[in-house]
Amino acid sequence: MNIDFSKDLPIKSLFPQTEFEEKVISFLKEWYSDSKTISVQTSGSTGKPKIFEIEKERMLHSAKMTCDILHLQKGDSALLCLPIEYISGKMMVVRAIERSLKLVIKTPTSTPLSGLNEEIDFCAMSPLQVENSLDQIHFIKNIIIGGAAVSENLKKKITQTLKHSITQTLVYETYGMSETLSHIALKEIFPVSEAYFKVLGNVEISLDERKCLQIFAPKLNPERLQTNDLVELKNEREFRFLGRIDHVINSAGLKIYPEELESLVKKEISNELIFLGIKDERFGQKLILVIEGQKTEMLENKLSTIIYPSKNHHPKEILFLEKFPRIPNGKIDRRKLHETVDHKD
């Protein structure tokens, strides 16, 4: 189903063919209702899932920031391939409304570009969706990737795929959360590989005493948002994500940021992986590496070539799990994974 928001199209004239299309129409009815707010559910990746109300006016402001930075114009096309239950999917629809875009609607799958044979101006995707669509991402002019960190391995694949393409595709990694109405910062991946996220619009950022990011974006959220994300500030507009403070591993008196080590290892292997700290009498927390998939000789050889920052950053143990636990939106459930590993230990 396609919806052209550049034209006056009554909702009654839309005929859904799939369950996902029915959900999109249900959201549109909620959007065009007299209510000034929309109900949004968090993914539960950093805590227990919750539902809260967001003012439509704030969602429109967020949509405008994204459309402006990507230079989207009335009549441009956008592809919706993310679950409409979460803010990521809802905001794709709101961006189409705000900028009068032509919205192409596809049921969310791990291969959303399958069968695509036309150019699309804008699409938001998860890392897994991009990974499975590398042979077709050249059809998209502007891609934003969110929901999880983009691995170094995937960045390499994107660059290798697009560097010889005759079309010009811009690819960005996003930083944000449900409370900021999707992303508040972008980091270019292709054609330029940037190290720092750049905040959008009039968003203000600062650090608390723990060196965790604070966000003040009054047009998106009236409250100053306190995150548990450890970051390095380059200036008042740019920052580098280091990891979540509740993921920090204290091993042998050393604070280890697992996300940085995960990024390092993912330069060499494509498997999903997580560094965890397991209670240990000697180290306080023992650093272990958990890898999704089967143990192979090739994988072991690649792991043996990785140079860690110090011997204390080297995992004391490497475990392999056939499949990682995940929450509904596809993100790895670190808490359940930790419980699984604890049980094995």
Range in 7-16, 81-90, 152-161, 205-214 the model is least confident about:
7-16
Statement: residue 59 has pLDDT above 80:
yes
Average pLDDT over residues 75-99: 95
Range in 8-17, 77-86, 154-163 the model is least confident about:
8-17
* Exposed/middle/buried for residue 310 (C-beta within 10 Å: 0-12, 13-18, 19+): exposed
Average pLDDT over residues 79-100: 95
Average pLDDT over residues 161-176: 93
Statement: residue 175 has pLDDT above 70:
yes
Give the per-residue pLDDT at 48: 63
Average pLDDT over residues 195-213: 95
d(CA 36, CA 13): 24
> CA separation (Å) from 274 to 109, 277, 300, 320, 325?
24, 10, 16, 11, 12
Give the per-residue pLDDT at 344: 66
Least Cα distance to 257 among 240, 269, 235, 270 occurs for 240
**Given pLDDT bands bounded at 50, 70 and 90, which one contains residue 51?**
confident
Statement: residue 46 has pLDDT above 70:
no
Give the per-residue pLDDT at 9: 74
Average pLDDT over residues 120-134: 95
Give the per-residue pLDDT at 215: 96
d(CA 119, CA 81): 15
**Given pLDDT bands bounded at 50, 70 and 90, which one contains residue 133?**
very high
| Bond from prior residue into 191 cis (ω within 30 degrees of 0) | yes
Average pLDDT over residues 193-210: 95
pLDDT tens sequence across 259-297: 999 999 998 898 999 999 999 888 899 999 999 999 999
Three-state DSSP class for residue 304: helix
Statement: residue 137 has pLDDT above 60:
yes
Give the per-residue pLDDT at 345: 61
Give every CB contact of residue 339 below 8 A, 6+ residues apart in sequence: none
d(CA 320, CA 290): 6
CATH architecture of 248-344: 2-Layer Sandwich (3.30)
Give the per-residue pLDDT at 117: 84
- What is the percent of the chain where pLDDT is above 70? 96
Give the per-residue pLDDT at 341: 87
**Given pLDDT bands bounded at 50, 70 and 90, which one contains residue 11?**
confident
**Mean pLDDT of the residues in the chain:** 91
Give the per-residue pLDDT at 45: 54
> Does residue 214 contact residue 178 with C-beta atoms inside 8 Å?
no
pLDDT tens sequence across 229-259: 999 999 999 999 999 998 999 988 899 999 9
- Domain parsing of the chain, residue ranges: 2-201, 248-344
Range in 1-10, 299-308, 323-332 the model is least confident about:
323-332
CATH number of 2-201: 3.40.50.12780
d(CA 276, CA 191): 33
Give the per-residue pLDDT at 52: 80
